[in-house]
């Protein structure tokens, strides 16, 4: 396995996948299969091993906390994927006659759908955080706007630099991701680093970098509207004032701390979740996600709200949404986008309108009558807007 990782993994795996696979081998594979020769591994042995993982093996992360929390079927499938690839390589190297993992019985796994706020409710958060009197607050607001309008990922938001921003072309060039990389993995062939941040503690085993994304489809030019351009320009003005401070590190980041240091994806996530808690404490209600699942809404969930909104306004143009989000396959758009009860109501209402039109009934008459009432009673508009607030 170590030979396989050194020969195959260093060429084909990125930093996160490489580190994760080495951890899986150390924690879940070597302790149970490490004493066997690869030629002695049978499909029956693998089936028993997988049954042991899901029924008896305690997750490393839960040791001493939840004794009954065993390995998930999803993690078993991840382990199986690596081992099957490794034994395919062993077969090519003529170490074994056939790959026993090909016929192994892998536990069924259904990925859980991550809850996400409806676009209308997320836009309440944008309105709530729109405070340009506080740099940290406004920076998170701009990060939320970028995530929503450009369908980005947390690492992509944190990796944006001012040279990537073109107000003239109305674009953000998205081709870097902010990440923490193990220093031992810096020579991986799949790891392309564009920018390295200064190391605050020389004893750290990792370092923060801007690196190339996993796939070519991820690189794209996010389109900007005038509203987001105005916010970006104002944020740049705020940073220019901060740059006079001696502790400010100018890393050319669009979204950064008040000292110029990057904001990691996990920090964006914590800040986003704290905003939801703060809004709830002030009486805001979020109805598109059940109360017991609201704590599972994360910064990455904004991609779902974004994809949902863009599918609506584009009348279902999946290819356009796929390009906006940097997805390589259209099924990812379907997986990320959500549907809500209001969508079903809109469909039924539109079907009714289409049916009435087919029967020759003029539905525009109702709209004309409504406009006449508004024109005759302008105070109704003010009352309606006040009620909506």
Checking if the pLDDT of 176 tops 60, the result is yes
Q: Are 174 and 220 in contact (CB under 8 A)?
A: yes
CA–CA separation, 136 and 143 (whole Å) = 11
- Residue 5 has a pLDDT of 94
For the residues 148-152, what does the mean pLDDT come to? Answer: 93
pLDDT in tens, 117-130: 999 999 999 999 99
Checking if the pLDDT of 3 tops 90, the result is yes
CA–CA separation, 207 and 274 (whole Å) = 27
- Residue 247 has a pLDDT of 86
Taking alpha carbons only, the member of 88, 112, 96 closest to residue 41 is 96
- Residue 371 has a pLDDT of 62
Q: Please tell me the least confidently modeled range out of 21-35, 102-116, 283-297, 323-337.
A: 323-337
Phi then psi for residue 222, to 5 deg, are: -75, 130
Query: Pairing between strand 220-223 and 171-174?
Result: antiparallel
Average of per-residue pLDDT values in the chain: 87
Checking if the pLDDT of 63 tops 70, the result is no
For the residues 199-214, what does the mean pLDDT come to? Answer: 88
Q: Please tell me the least confidently modeled range out of 100-104, 219-223, 382-386.
A: 382-386
CA–CA separation, 338 and 316 (whole Å) = 12
- Residue 92 has a pLDDT of 95
Checking if the pLDDT of 81 tops 90, the result is yes
Checking if the pLDDT of 380 tops 90, the result is no
Q: Please tell me the least confidently modeled range out of 36-50, 173-187, 203-217.
A: 203-217
Checking if the pLDDT of 23 tops 90, the result is yes
Token pair recorded at residue 149: 């309008």
Checking if the pLDDT of 386 tops 70, the result is no
- Residue 332 has a pLDDT of 76
CA–CA separation, 207 and 205 (whole Å) = 7
Split at pLDDT 50, 70, 90, the class of 316 is confident
If phi > 0 it is left, if psi is from -120 to 50 it is alpha, else beta; for residue 182 that is: beta
- Residue 127 has a pLDDT of 95
Split at pLDDT 50, 70, 90, the class of 244 is confident
| Chain-centre distance for alpha carbon 198 | 26
Q: Pick the residue with more confidence: 352 or 214?
A: 214
- Residue 65 has a pLDDT of 58
Domains of the chain: 2-92 (no CATH), 119-302 (1.10.443.10), 346-389 (no CATH)
CA–CA separation, 267 and 342 (whole Å) = 33
Q: Pick the residue with more confidence: 370 or 181?
A: 181
CA–CA separation, 384 and 389 (whole Å) = 9
Taking alpha carbons only, the member of 331, 130, 369 closest to residue 234 is 130
Burial of 128 (0-12, 13-18, 19+ CB in 10 A): middle
For the residues 54-79, what does the mean pLDDT come to? Answer: 79
Portion of the chain with pLDDT greater than 70, in percent: 85
Q: Are 155 and 177 in contact (CB under 8 A)?
A: yes
Token pair recorded at residue 6: 């050194």
pTM given for the model: 0.80
73-92 vs 15-24: helix crossing angle, rounded to 10 = 100
pLDDT in tens, 260-302: 999 999 999 999 999 999 999 999 999 999 999 999 999 999 9
Q: What is the DSSP letter of 26?
A: I
Handedness of CA 182, 188, 191, 196 (dihedral sign): positive
Checking if the pLDDT of 36 tops 90, the result is yes
CA–CA separation, 315 and 311 (whole Å) = 6
């Amino acid at each position: 396995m170590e030979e396989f990782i050194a020969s195959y993994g260093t060429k084909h795996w990125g930093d996160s996948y490489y580190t994760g696979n080495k951890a899986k081998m150390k924690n879940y594979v070597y302790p149970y299969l490490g004493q066997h020769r690869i030629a002695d591994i049978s499909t029956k042995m693998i089936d028993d091993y997988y049954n042991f993982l899901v029924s008896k093996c305690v997750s490393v992360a839960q040791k001493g906390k939840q004794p009954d929390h065993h390995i998930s079927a999803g993690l078993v499938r991840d382990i199986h994927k690596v081992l099957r690839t490794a034994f395919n390589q062993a077969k090519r190297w003529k170490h074994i006659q056939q790959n026993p993992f090909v016929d192994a019985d892998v536990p069924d796994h259904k990925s859980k759908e991550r809850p996400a706020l409806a676009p209308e409710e997320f836009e309440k958060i944008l309105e709530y955080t729109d405070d340009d009197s506080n740099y940290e607050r406004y920076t998170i607001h701009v990060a939320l706007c970028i995530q929503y309008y450009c369908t980005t990922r947390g690492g992509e938001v944190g990796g944006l630099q001012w040279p990537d921003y073109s107000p003239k072309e109305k674009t953000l060039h998205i081709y870097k991701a902010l990440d923490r990389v193990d220093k031992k993995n810096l020579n991986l062939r799949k790891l392309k680093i564009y920018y390295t941040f200064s190391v605050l503690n020389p004893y750290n085993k990792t370092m923060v970098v801007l690196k190339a994304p996993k796939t070519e489809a991820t690189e794209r030019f996010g389109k900007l509207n005038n509203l987001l351009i105005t916010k970006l320009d104002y944020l740049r003005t705020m940073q220019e004032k901060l740059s006079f401070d001696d502790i400010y590190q100018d890393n050319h980041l669009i979204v950064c701390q008040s000292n110029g240091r990057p904001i990691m994806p996990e920090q964006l996530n914590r800040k986003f979740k704290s905003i939801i808690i703060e809004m709830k404490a002030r009486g805001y209600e979020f109805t598109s996600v059940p109360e017991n699942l609201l704590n599972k809404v994360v910064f990455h969930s904004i991609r779902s709200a974004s994809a949902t909104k863009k599918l609506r306004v584009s009348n279902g143009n999946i290819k356009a949404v796929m390009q906006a989000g940097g997805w390589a396959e259209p099924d990812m758009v379907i997986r990320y986008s959500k549907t809500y009860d209001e969508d079903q109501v809109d469909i039924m209402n539109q079907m009714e309108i289409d049916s009435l039109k087919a029967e020759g009934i003029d539905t525009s008459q109702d709209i004309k009558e409504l406009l006449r009432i508004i024109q005759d009673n302008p105070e109704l508009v003010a009352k309606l807007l006040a009620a909506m607030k």
